[in-house]
């Protein structure tokens, strides 16, 4: 799979994530000890056990969400490393609220081959 295909899988996984389902996003993360996640609702965590718990907790904050777009700000790809910086725009019912709220989430992802 090339990097563009992988980015497409990531975008689809995050579209599902904002509905409250972390499964597809979780499948994209490394199981290595150095896997790290810094999500907007908590401190950064390292290691698959903590990353998986954090993804589950973060997804549980979303209901009935949809992503309307991914604005790519920076993209760098080499044979060993890729960096992707974007703004993810969408709407969801957040944290138990009953109204859809717009959000713009700044996301930076680093991938190691």
Domain at 29, CATH number: 3.10.450.50
pLDDT of residue 24: 98
Mean pLDDT of 31-42: 92
pLDDT of residue 57: 96
- Residue/partner pairs of 106-112 with CB below 8 Å, 24 or more apart: 108/83, 108/84, 109/10, 109/82, 109/83, 109/84, 109/85, 110/81, 110/82, 110/83, 111/3, 111/6, 111/81, 111/82, 111/83, 111/84, 112/30, 112/80, 112/81
pLDDT tens, 62-113? Answer: 999 999 999 999 999 999 999 999 999 999 999 889 999 999 999 999 998 7
User: Which pTM value belongs to this model?
Assistant: 0.91
Structural domains in the chain (count):
1
pLDDT category at 9 given cuts 50, 70, 90 is very high
Range of the domain at 49: 3-112
**Residues paired with residue 70 on neighbouring β-strands, in sequence order:** 88
């Amino acid at each position: 799979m090339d990097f563009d295909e992988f980015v497409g899988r990531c975008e689809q996984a995050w579209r599902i994530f904002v509905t409250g389902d972390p499964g597809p996003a979780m499948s994209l993360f490394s199981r290595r000890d150095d896997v790290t996640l810094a999500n907007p609702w908590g401190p950064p965590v390292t290691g698959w056990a903590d990353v998986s718990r954090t993804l589950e907790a973060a997804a549980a904050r979303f209901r009935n969400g949809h992503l309307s777009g991914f604005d790519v700000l920076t993209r760098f790809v080499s044979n060993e490393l890729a960096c992707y910086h974007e703004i993810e725009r969408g709407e969801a019912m957040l944290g138990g609220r009953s109204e859809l709220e717009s959000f713009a989430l700044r996301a930076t992802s680093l991938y190691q081959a």
